[in-house]
Structure 1
Amino acid sequence: MSSLGAIVTGEGIRFAAWSSIARRLWVSIFDEQGNREIQRLELQPESEGVHALFGAGLGPGTRYGFRADGDYAPERGLWFDPDKLLIDPYAIGIDRPYAYDWRLAQRRSEGADTAPLMPKAIATALPKPLQAAPPLFQPGGLVYEVPVRAFTMLHPDVPEKLRGTIAALAHPAILEHLKKLGVGAVELMPVTASIDERHLPALGLRNAWGYNPVTFMALDPRLVPGGIMELRNTVAALREAGIGVILDLVFNHTGESDRLGPTLSLRGFDKAYYRHTPDGRLANDTGTGNTVACDHPVVQEMVLDTLRHFVRHAGVDGFRFDLAPILGRVEGAFDPQAPLLDAMREDALLADRVLIAEPWDIGPDGYQLGNFLPPFLEWNDKYRDDVRRFWRGDAGMVGALATRLAGSSDVFATKGQNASRTVNFIAAHDGMTLADIVRYERKHNEANGEQNRDGHNENLSWNNGVEGDADEPAVAIARLNDQHALLAILFASRGTIMLTAGDEFGRTQHGNNNAYAQDNEITWLDWTGRDQALERYTALLSTLRRAVPALADTRFLAGRPPAGSDMPEVAWLTETGVPLDEQSWQDPQRHRLVMILGGVANDERRLAVLVNGDRRASMFTLPGREGFFWAPALETGVAADISRPVSGRTVIFMIERAAMQAGTREKRNGGR
């Protein structure tokens, strides 16, 4: 662990911060309430930019902040101002949430002391490190994306004092829900402390997602009031239930924003924490006003120390990295073997963790889907878009759908890799919810206060007759069928799959596809009004995926019999049961497909996935084998009878049963 930050010992606290160019650094000590500065002690230069001081007699719980002095020239990236209280970049906890105030961004000549406006870091004696345990989550499983606050704010079974917190995830009602869905790992949207963007307070809004951090280790007191022990205990409870925890972390930018933003931490210590253009301006590869310099050794060590901290002291399974190309950008170009990415893969504590990249940002060389190296998994937006296009009814999409079902070999079968690193998803926290995809053809972000200009314009979404909420039974049934179809395709797809919390029961944001600033009923999950039938269907899909090895496998489908089997691992058929030929694949009007999975060692059964993306019903025929018969694979209570036309906009799962089993079952039933 780094020697930076506030390190508590039996005799006092060592305070240390890094700056290569500050002329002076101080630590300010505050009273127990964090309101009054009672001491200001100057740190002394050590080596390689480290400034340190030992505060004898100070103990755990001490409230503190740093101050720095040097040149003030924002046009050159220099923001030194001793009147700006700075949060320790290595802070473990803070005593209150961040709150944006315009005075935090005042220039040195204009401003007063910002200590009254700032949280104070809390010197923390860390618990004994956990014994290393392998991650519970394995590729091919179900990742469940959770906005921590929105997830339980309206849950009737969770005690009111726990709602909206990490601790609520350990409540029995939540654990039961997660286990029912077969969740392999919860992916927690950011739980480190963040600040509102400067335009939100005037609109009466606040950042509800947390993708605007100030520092990287300090947990947000609103989400994790019990600090690192609350996170640790919740992770332990989830692990006991067989569920891993993945933290969504933001290392690409901070809430200090652009040149008009507040001075809160990094920019007040040293310009080297951020990337700059040749003329000295802040680089903006994130669209948020700044870009963290992940190619700088001090920043790299800070990122690695953060990851080690959450593994060592909370026991998390792994991490999802927001705008991940920034972590691998060296001198303006993405390098999959960049020092920081290599260090993550090779670190003794991190090498076995689950690592998930969001493989795009808006900077140069920013779209990198498929270009990260193992063991990184990657969010797959091509999967999202192609599945939506197919179900929207776009022409010529059947080949693309098959490619996505098979693990996206066009993206990930590179450099000799034989298994997919895809994270398949249809909806995520940004963009429309699964229910809204089939309900709104256009975004409706009016509540965000930006005249509906924010958010993506092209959502690849559709509505079934009437835009928005409609009571007509036929419209409601059509929308429900489309949700069933989208969920079925997701659970039938090779690779890791991701479901955003609430999509299993029809959550809606009423067309808002950029609800980052809606900490209210727009994003809070409606547990009492949820579609429990849709939820049961999702649970059945998950049970099937876990029961049939061919579904959860991550190896690419090549259409050949694997070792130990005489059946091909996959067959692609038309609805008439014959193999698709080149003409059929290229037919722009084809919206039907059959995928038959087989060839798994120790499992003689084949699974057929019948996809009717047309709005018209159609007969489907499946090839038989002697000694087997086709039977419905999902126990939905509604027979999947392929002797009759399969209705439009439907996915059906059929599984082979041994004829002997059929006779045994008929004899048993007949004896009742």
Structure 2
Amino acid sequence: MGGEATKKARRMTELTRAQVSDILGAHLSATGCTFGLWAPRADRVELALVDDQGNTQRNIDMDRQGGIWTTSVPGVEAGQRYGFRIDGAWDPGQGLRANPAKLLVDPYARAITAGVDFTGPIFDHVPDDFYTRDNRDSATSVPLSVVVADTPAPEPIARRRPLSECVIYEAHVKGFTRLHPQVPEHLRGHYGGIAYPAVVKHLTDLGVNAIELLPVHHFVSEPFIIGRGLSNYWGYNTLGFFAPHAAYCSVGTEGDQVAEFKSMVTALHRAGIEVILDVVYNHTCEGNHEGPTLSFRGIDHQGYYRLTDDLRNDYDVTGCGNSVDTAHADVLALVMDSLHYWVTQMGVDGFRFDLASTLIRNGDHQVDLNHEFKRQIAADPVLKDIKMIAEPWDMGPNGYLVGAWGPGWSEWNDRYRGYVRDYWRSQVHGVDELATRLAGSTDIFNHNGRPASSSINFINAHDGFALRDLVTYNSKHNEANGEENRDGSNDNRSWNCGVEGETDDPTINALRHRQVRNMLATLLLSDGVPMFCAGDEMGRTQQGNNNAYCQDGPINWVNWSLQDEWHDVGTLARTLIGLRQQYPLLRPAQFRDRHDVVRADGTPLGRLTIAWFNGGGGQMTQDDWNDGARRLLGMYVSDESDTAFLNWFHSGPEPAAVTLPAEQWGTHFEVVATSAEPGELAESYQPGETFTLPARTVVVLKATTLSVAQADEKAAAETTTSDEAGVTQDEASPEENSQA
């Protein structure tokens, strides 16, 4: 068998990149398992097979050809635990940190057992010197790779939607269902919890059709967090790019996590819900050279990570200690192979790339918008209809790239987040930028043929205040994180409505509910793709913590018992999502082109595809746009159908008198959704009518209009009548022509 492995290795220099990718990792056959590892600077690679008690059963030398090491082992079955040991140069000053005493996780492992014993010898260096090798064996202190058998992919979704049709729901696998009263205890907080019928029904009733899961690649906590008695809850600390996080499995960690994840995807797909993964390819859990050696650093520190010019230290543009070097072809191949695996084998429909700017830095660490990463994704048939969403920044020089990613990509729009928060706390100058954000942030994205779905609109996400906390706290309250409230952003753009923290004052609580409704309504009525957090629709709170990454407890878990108290928010969310799904007019695929709606003969019908109204019966004037005190704006959208929408946004503290436009814009205006309290508005209004819009209110008016088809029919009927009367348009008097 060893001879067969050697022959296979000799052929590798003749194989394509895709064929090499198929060799890396652990692959079962009828007789055993073949293992492959990329370790170009190693002098020796050893495969360690480990039993269920953590004892090494066998150490097997692997065969080398070029930078690839392989071996085939008969009798190995699914569930076998294993790791690698790398022997080679220890020269930290040259970025070489091989240490055979450290048992390493396979970067291509499809399952990983568990966490880390942080009291064990998990560092490649001695405690008091980062550049002296530690020779203590780490085998009993580190996670192990697991051999996983191939199984069928999840059931595909019946129709993968264009992103313009999606409403994205950002959720944490554990926190979403940990407190759900209808989910069986053993499934709560696990993949099986999200797949549970009561949870799926909540999503479908709400109307969301895409769930974006916080990191599910297997991750571990950082030593300094463990030292504070906390843990990395969010999961932005990846150890394995192919392995579903083991702790999210309700059954076990010997590969069961793969099956349970696939079952979750199937359940969501059957409900018409797409699965998007928040992926962290920009850095790993090993931190800088002072951190633990669990996989990548021990295999090839200089290959996997960006290093400073002297090769001694990590070049960090992520703020997490290290930066994965996708300028290296083999490292980029790992990322691409991982994406392929999650699409073809695990059934996911899209990816949100954390700190995506890191992934497009070249060999000199400079941002390259034509990076090979982007080129390969654009040319990849496997990824053709997969959603690609960038967090378009990192911590490095020139890393802020909002609006720059180009066709084929959507981007988190932090400009939208900041402005909408400011608008509803009345800290803006006029409404000019409000119109721009409502129209899909055209100033940022409307170029190079990009669609309106380029903008992922959000008001809050996992990092920062919950939506409820934006109206409850002026300042962060992160004391529970153990950093004396120094961590987390100070730029919250929140307003506590008069009292810091929770209160029994019914007036303040009513205002807080209203402000949450206002922000959620603005989000769901804006062009672009809306995203909000799990639990926002039911008053989720993080108790003022705006950096809850290390809180695995009630601060982060969705409290389902709040549904009744916050039913007003959930009801409005369902209504607006339903309108958005029913009327394409509220979710345009392309940026709106302002022009007349015309009949077949080109005659204008007196309305525009998009218009902005000032509340005085007419469209916004230049004086209106320049009015820094203005807090009222009407957004009108129409097309060739018999329906238009006029949405009013009013963040002012006093009611406003609003006069509706003339009948060519709508012959009847029906209130179909509002953030106002019941009874504050009538059910409908007539053109030219003036009504009182309450303070701090959003209202959606569905307008009945004359469709192009109806206008053509009417014109044809009028022509027929005129002909029957013996008078044609050509025969009419000049006065009659003028009146016509």
For normalisation by structure 2, the TM-score amounts to 0.86
Matching of residue 428 in structure 1 with residue 461 in structure 2? yes
Deviations 1:62-88 (A, max 9, x none): 110000011223343222111100000
SS at match of 2:611: strand
Aligned to 1:259: 289
Distance between the aligned counterparts of 1:229 and 1:319, measured in 2? 20
Aligned to 2:735: none
1:198-213, aligned counterparts within 5 Å?
Answer: 198-213=223-238
Q: In the alignment, residue 378 of structure 2 is paired with which amino acid?
A: R
SS at match of 2:70: strand
Distance between the aligned counterparts of 1:318 and 1:63, measured in 2? 30
Distance between the aligned counterparts of 1:105 and 1:621, measured in 2? 70
Aligned to 1:24: 44
Distance between the aligned counterparts of 1:638 and 1:550, measured in 2? 28
1:601-640, aligned counterparts within 5 Å?
Answer: 601=640, 603-625=641-663, 628-634=667-673, 638=679, 640=681
- Could you list the runs of 5+ residues in structure 1 that have no partner in the other structure? 661-672
Aligned to 2:309: 278
Contact 1:228/1:313 (<8 A) preserved: no
Q: Which among 362, 378, 384 is matched to residue 417 of structure 2? A: 384
Matching of residue 80 in structure 1 with residue 98 in structure 2? yes
Q: Which among 567, 575, 600 is matched to residue 615 of structure 2? A: 575
Q: Which among 328, 332, 346 is matched to residue 296 of structure 1? A: 328
Aligned to 1:516: 549
Contact 2:91/2:97 (<8 A) preserved: yes
Distance between the aligned counterparts of 2:451 and 2:333, measured in 1? 33
Which deviates more, 426-435 or 639-648? Answer: 639-648
Distance between the aligned counterparts of 2:260 and 2:545, measured in 1? 32
Q: Which among 638, 651, 655 is matched to residue 698 of structure 2? A: 651
The number of residues matched between the two structures is: 656
Distance between the aligned counterparts of 1:150 and 1:130, measured in 2? 23
Distance between the aligned counterparts of 2:296 and 2:158, measured in 1? 34
Contact 2:179/2:560 (<8 A) preserved: yes
Distance between the aligned counterparts of 2:484 and 2:93, measured in 1? 32
**1:640 to 1:75, Cα distance in 2 relative to 1, 3 A:** farther
Deviations 1:526-571 (A, max 9, x none): 0012322221121111111112221111321232136878431111
Contact 2:194/2:200 (<8 A) preserved: yes
Contact 1:398/1:585 (<8 A) preserved: yes
Contact 2:48/2:59 (<8 A) preserved: yes
Aligned to 2:144: 120
Q: Which among 358, 370, 373 is matched to residue 391 of structure 2? A: 358
1:339-418, aligned counterparts within 5 Å?
Answer: 339-417=372-450
Q: Which among 101, 107, 110 is matched to residue 89 of structure 1? A: 107
Contact 1:286/1:363 (<8 A) preserved: yes
Q: CA deviation at 1:419?
A: 3.5
Aligned to 2:4: none
Contact 1:395/1:590 (<8 A) preserved: no
Deviations 1:65-122 (A, max 9, x none): 0000112233432221111000000000012234544621251644411110112111
Aligned to 2:732: none
Aligned to 2:206: 181
CA RMSD of aligned residues (A): 2.0
Aligned to 1:217: 242
Distance between the aligned counterparts of 2:444 and 2:158, measured in 1? 28
**1:101 to 1:597, Cα distance in 2 relative to 1, 3 A:** farther
Give the structure with higher Rg (CA).
Answer: 2
Aligned to 2:186: 161
Contact 1:412/1:420 (<8 A) preserved: no
SS at match of 1:218: strand
Q: CA deviation at 1:134?
A: 7.6
For normalisation by structure 1, the TM-score amounts to 0.94
Matching of residue 490 in structure 1 with residue 523 in structure 2? yes
Aligned to 2:6: none
Distance between the aligned counterparts of 2:272 and 2:437, measured in 1? 28
Q: CA deviation at 1:637?
A: 5.8
Q: CA deviation at 1:34?
A: 4.9
1:106-117, aligned counterparts within 5 Å?
Answer: 106-107=124-125, 109-117=133-141
Aligned to 1:38: 57
Q: In the alignment, residue 399 of structure 1 is paired with which amino acid?
A: D
Q: In the alignment, residue 549 of structure 1 is paired with which amino acid?
A: P
Aligned to 1:8: 28
Q: CA deviation at 1:484?
A: 0.9
Matching of residue 544 in structure 1 with residue 575 in structure 2? no
Deviations 1:626-651 (A, max 9, x none): 68211111389646337542111110
Q: Which among 254, 262, 266 is matched to residue 232 of structure 1? A: 262
**1:563 to 1:255, Cα distance in 2 relative to 1, 3 A:** farther
Which deviates more, 402-411 or 231-240? Answer: 231-240
Aligned to 1:591: 631
Aligned to 1:323: 355
Deviations 1:309-363 (A, max 9, x none): 1111121111111001111111322222211111112112112101111001011
SS at match of 2:247: coil
Q: CA deviation at 1:624?
A: 3.3
Distance between the aligned counterparts of 2:355 and 2:289, measured in 1? 21
Contact 1:135/1:317 (<8 A) preserved: no
Aligned to 1:308: 340
Q: CA deviation at 1:485?
A: 0.6
Which deviates more, 218-227 or 187-196? Answer: 218-227
Contact 1:135/1:244 (<8 A) preserved: no
Contact 2:680/2:694 (<8 A) preserved: no
Q: In the alignment, residue 270 of structure 2 is paired with which amino acid?
A: E
Contact 1:629/1:659 (<8 A) preserved: no
Q: CA deviation at 1:437?
A: 0.7
Q: Which among 190, 196, 213 is matched to residue 171 of structure 1? A: 196
The one of the two structures with greater contact order (alpha-carbon pairs below 8 A, sep at least 6) is 1
**1:570 to 1:99, Cα distance in 2 relative to 1, 3 A:** farther
Contact 2:170/2:213 (<8 A) preserved: yes
Contact 2:157/2:273 (<8 A) preserved: no
Q: CA deviation at 1:428?
A: 0.3
Identity %: 38
Distance between the aligned counterparts of 1:638 and 1:45, measured in 2? 77
Q: In the alignment, residue 477 of structure 1 is paired with which amino acid?
A: A
Q: CA deviation at 1:621?
A: 1.3
Q: CA deviation at 1:168?
A: 1.1
Distance between the aligned counterparts of 2:430 and 2:209, measured in 1? 30
Matching of residue 244 in structure 1 with residue 264 in structure 2? no
Q: In the alignment, residue 581 of structure 1 is paired with which amino acid?
A: T
SS at match of 2:242: coil
Distance between the aligned counterparts of 2:491 and 2:59, measured in 1? 54
Q: CA deviation at 1:132?
A: 7.0
Contact 1:137/1:354 (<8 A) preserved: no
Distance between the aligned counterparts of 1:639 and 1:657, measured in 2? 22
Distance between the aligned counterparts of 2:489 and 2:357, measured in 1? 21
Contact 2:123/2:134 (<8 A) preserved: no
Distance between the aligned counterparts of 1:135 and 1:68, measured in 2? 46
**1:645 to 1:637, Cα distance in 2 relative to 1, 3 A:** closer
Distance between the aligned counterparts of 1:519 and 1:175, measured in 2? 23
Q: CA deviation at 1:606?
A: 1.3
Q: CA deviation at 1:658?
A: 6.6
Q: In the alignment, residue 116 of structure 1 is paired with which amino acid?
A: T
Distance between the aligned counterparts of 1:637 and 1:443, measured in 2? 33
Q: In the alignment, residue 509 of structure 2 is paired with which amino acid?
A: A
Contact 2:179/2:557 (<8 A) preserved: yes
Deviations 1:182-213 (A, max 9, x none): 11210011111111111111211011100001
